[in-house]
Amino acid sequence: MNKDNIRDHWNLTALEYQKKRQISYNDIEYADGYAKESELNLLGDVKGKKVIELGCGGAENSIILAKQGAKCTGVDLSIEQLKYARNSAEKHGIDIELIEGDFENLFMLGNKRFDIALSIFALDWAQDLKVAFKEVYRILRDKGIFVFSMQHPTWNLLGENPSELKITENYFKEIWEWEESTGIPVKVHASKISDIINQLIHTGFSIERMLEPSSDIIKFVPSTIIFKVIRRS
Ligand SMILES: C[S@@+](CC[C@H](N)C(=O)[O-])C[C@H]1O[C@@H](n2cnc3c(N)ncnc32)[C@H](O)[C@@H]1O
């Protein structure tokens, strides 16, 4: 099953990923090294808020928010990512709840339990984004905030050599399939920008902000798309 492949891939590469990314424990970065929470203020004051991080990986973002007084829960498919998260939380003297689970099926979490849902570069791995959105809607309280970043759908068009700025892929493709560095084949459902927006609205979210940040390196095509949406009651 494809989700088993995704889990296996992340279990095999969790440590390498953490070593390579060196994610900050000071400021949430919605894109790799830029688009920081301290500049964008998408989450607001999190003190006392119940926050869930979906596809939390090493839970660096949850640790940052817990330091600011949030009560954080991290969910990830990969037990190896969660082991890394547990060690990091201990090192930082932070208490966070970590759950091995699938953001497309959060059966273990009750309805309307969280004030804020956060996800950074994880929903790209969803088999069906609208299923994940429905789960987030279910576990968020009325007017709860959902902030997430994903690889920008137009960035995918640049294929394996984005620096060449040549369109090599089809924007309208519905499925992306590739073989990971681990040799494991994976498959995800592709989303156009309109798919993301329409699925959010259809699920019951109001879009408050959509951002397509640039950086010194990312100048011509956005590599990351960020949404802040609010759960309509
Ligand atoms: C690119 S990493 C991002 C991790 C973290 N958010 C960060 O910014 O470093 C993607 C993560 O999503 C997790 N993931 C993929 N599919 C998932 C699913 N269906 N449910 C929960 N986690 C999932 C992977 O295990 C991996 O840890």
Tell whether ligand 1 has an atom less than 6 A from the beta carbon of residue 77: yes
The C-alpha atoms of residue 231 and residue 153 are separated, in whole angstroms, by: 24
Banded model confidence at residue 181, pLDDT cuts 50, 70, 90: confident
Average pLDDT over residues 153-166: 90
The C-alpha atoms of residue 160 and residue 168 are separated, in whole angstroms, by: 9
Tell whether ligand 1 has an atom less than 6 A from the beta carbon of residue 123: no
| Cα–Cα–Cα angle for 147, 152, 154, rounded to 5 degrees | 155
pLDDT > 90? residue 177: no
Each residue's pLDDT tens digit, 107-119: 999 999 999 999 9
Q: Output DSSP code: residue 110.
A: -
| Per-residue model confidence (pLDDT) at position 215 | 86
What mean pLDDT, rounded, does the chain reach? 95
pLDDT > 90? residue 182: no
Question: What Rg do the C-alpha atoms of the chain give, in angstroms?
Answer: 17
Each residue's pLDDT tens digit, 36-79: 999 999 999 999 999 999 999 999 999 999 999 999 999 999 99
Q: Which atom of ligand 1 is nearest to the CA of 21?
A: 9
Tell whether ligand 1 has an atom less than 6 A from the beta carbon of residue 136: no
Each residue's pLDDT tens digit, 121-130: 999 999 999 9
The C-alpha atoms of residue 91 and residue 145 are separated, in whole angstroms, by: 29
- Span from the CA of 58 to the centroid of ligand 1 (angstroms): 9
Banded model confidence at residue 196, pLDDT cuts 50, 70, 90: very high
- Span from the CA of 161 to the centroid of ligand 1 (angstroms): 23
Q: Which atom of ligand 1 is nearest to the CA of 75?
A: 21
Q: Which among 81, 129, 180 is the best mutation to test ligand 1's pocket, defined by most ligand atoms within 8 Å of the CB?
A: 81
Residue holding tokens 């309805």? Answer: 111
For residue 12, count CB atoms less than 10 angstroms from its CB and return exposed for 0-12, middle for 13-18, buried for 19 or more.
middle
Each residue's pLDDT tens digit, 89-109: 999 999 999 999 999 999 999
Tell whether ligand 1 has an atom less than 6 A from the beta carbon of residue 23: yes
| Per-residue model confidence (pLDDT) at position 123 | 97
pLDDT > 90? residue 160: no
- Cβ atoms of residues 159 and 169 within 8 Å: yes
| Per-residue model confidence (pLDDT) at position 158 | 92
68 closest CA partner among 44, 97, 34: 44
